[in-house]
Amino acid sequence: MDACIRFAGRYRFARRAELDRALGRAREQLDLEDELPAPGAWLRGLVVDGATLTVALAVPASAELRFAAAELFETLARAAIDGVVEGTLDGRPVDYYPSGADDD
């Protein structure tokens, strides 16, 4: 079995409408990724409750998919007002996406 990065965490948004907009941008970002066989399947690992988004997603640890995951979580993190999503591989931290993060 291939190694997987497990992403887990939670983001909180100011309002549900902002969460919905962030999810829309994330969906658009995933649709642009040529390496994803089923981009919509990634969204099943995201659970919405009011203005909170909970993440529980496992992604194969290939470079292409890890890059796609980074784009997804950076898109969501930019609009979030609180929270973090962390990626672990074999129990070791490998990725970290805090709310408000922007690499620009």
Task: State pLDDT tens for residues 25-37.
Answer: 988 888 877 666 6
- Sheet (strand 52-60) strand order: 46-49, 52-60, 4-12, 82-89, 92-98
Q: How far apart are CA 14 and CA 7, in angstroms?
A: 22
Domain that includes residue 75, residue range: 4-98
What domain count does the chain have?
1
Residue 103 pLDDT greater than 70, yes or no: no
Q: Is residue 69 part of a domain?
A: yes
Q: Is residue 94 part of a domain?
A: yes
Q: Is 1 exposed, middle or buried (0-12, 13-18, 19+ CB in 10 A)?
A: exposed
* CATH code, domain carrying 85: 3.30.70
**pLDDT digit string, tens, across residues 2-58:** 799 999 999 999 999 999 999 999 888 888 776 666 666 778 889 999 999 999 999
Q: Is residue 52 part of a domain?
A: yes
- Structure-token pair, residue 93: 């931290």
- Structure-token pair, residue 24: 């829309």
* pLDDT given at position 104: 44
With cut-offs at 50, 70 and 90, classify the pLDDT of residue 66: confident
Q: Is residue 103 part of a domain?
A: no
